[in-house]
Amino acid sequence: MQIIENSIVKEKLYIEKLPNGLTIMIIPKKGIEKKYIIWGTHYGSNDSSFIVPGETKVTNVPKGVAHFLEHKMFEQENGRNSLDVLTSLGVNANAYTTNNHTAYLYECTDNFYEALDEFMDYVQHPYFTDQNVEKEKGIIGQEIMMYDDYPEWKVYLNALEAMYHNHPVKLDITGTIETISHIDKDILYKCYNTFYNPSNMAMVVCGDFEPEKLLDEIKKRLINKNGTGKIKRIFEDEPKTIVKPRVEQKMDTSIPLFAIGIKDEPPEQEEKVRKHIAIEIILNILTGASSELYRKLYDIGNSYWTPSIEYEFDSNYAHILISGQSNDPDKWFEMFKEQINKFKENGINKDDFERIKKMIYGEYVREFNDVTDISRMFLSDYFKGVNSFDYLNEIESINLDYTQEVLKNVFKEEKMVLSVVRN
């Protein structure tokens, strides 16, 4: 078992890659009562076109299969629902689907190993029938219609659609009522057998554990399944340009919502963490509660709280999203662009840079206080080819010149879109 120690947060990461390809990561937290486990597959809503290892032809499946599969995994052949079984043990279980991975999880203080029996059983034993698949279409269809009524979701999705021509990241993770109507049990089994292979999966556990003992317990519960070769994921070429600079939709909302998107190019492996940190610093300097822009917007009554900021990337896409509420989103957007140009011309203030960098460093350190944050972070970063410790190790090397360079290369007006939802 490989051990990686981080002296900043005084944490150890134990990593074991099993012969079948499954990667297990354990972060012991002595004296912490809560235990958290998350088991993920590198399979998300983006993966609708692929070549199965050992085959030559391309398999195309409807949009929304990854999310549909996540819903169906809890139902077992014996008639039980594994979510109910886990709840009866006093553990809090759940699952979620993102653009690039699907994850199953639970947290508890007691009955960890009793829950592990059920947890590892249902993830390894899918049960799909014509009847239960058809029933699920109605349930997921209601979920899709519910999200269609959420202004916060539509303003986000519209921004992605304004940025991306072809990449499936612009599509709703759940699919549409039309696309899920084409899902059947054969498609679900095909995708399960392709992507739920141990060589395409990773597990993260955090809590008061002896790593060697925990690893043995996990191995006991693994079924005998060999790893496969690499799955080839097929994507259409994505132009570097945006689709359109502005999109607006009318919905029931008291204050207009906005989302500013900035389309970026996927970072190279060695730049993933450094670029991410620099963008976080820039966004906080630009739009944070202590920023010049926020003060100006607040003074003219155009912003009442700081917007949310996000930098999302994977191997073949990357973008920034800034979302919030404003009485005049177009004015907000114009002032945002003016502030960027001001920083490009005059440079970012060094004191502001150092202050925000320290603040972000503190946030990184605090993430290691919670077993939930730790586990989700390590799983998500793993599927992006990153070790979460790297953010702590790299932040000190981020200087003002590098950050200024990222500002110039990423924050380009021709790559920006504005999505608005208003009454």
C-alpha angle 151-154-159 in degrees, rounded to nearest 5: 130
Contact 211, 384 (CB under 8 A): no
- The CA-atom distances, in angstroms, between 234 and each of 41, 49, 171, 200, 314 are 18, 5, 16, 16, 14
| Long-range CB contact pairs, 248-251, < 8 A, 24+ | 248/419, 248/420, 248/421, 248/422, 249/154, 249/155, 249/158, 249/419, 249/420, 249/421, 250/421, 250/422, 250/423, 251/149, 251/151, 251/154, 251/421, 251/422, 251/423
Contact 411, 238 (CB under 8 A): no
Tokens representing residue 376 in the block: 């989700």
Contact 413, 261 (CB under 8 A): no
Residue 308 pLDDT: 93
Contact 23, 204 (CB under 8 A): no
- The CA-atom distances, in angstroms, between 324 and each of 256, 318, 384, 423 are 9, 20, 27, 15
What parts of the chain have a pLDDT lower than 70?
Answer: 303-304
Tokens representing residue 196 in the block: 């739920």
Which residues are CB-neighbours of 181 under 8 A, at least 6 positions away?
137
DSSP state of 396: G
Residue 304 pLDDT: 66
Helices (H), 128-233: 130-148, 151-163, 177-180, 185-195, 211-221
Q: Rounded to whole angstroms, how far apart are CA atoms 393 and 400?
A: 17
Write out the H or E segment, with its range, that includes residue 257: strand 257-264
The answer to whether 70 is a known catalytic residue is yes
CA torsion sign for 107, 112, 115, 116 is positive
Domains of the chain: 2-233 (3.30.830.10), 246-422 (3.30.830.10)
In the block, residue with structure tokens 């994921």:
233
Which residue in 5, 16, 55, 70 is the catalytic one? Answer: 70
CA torsion sign for 62, 251, 139, 76 is positive
Residue 294 pLDDT: 80
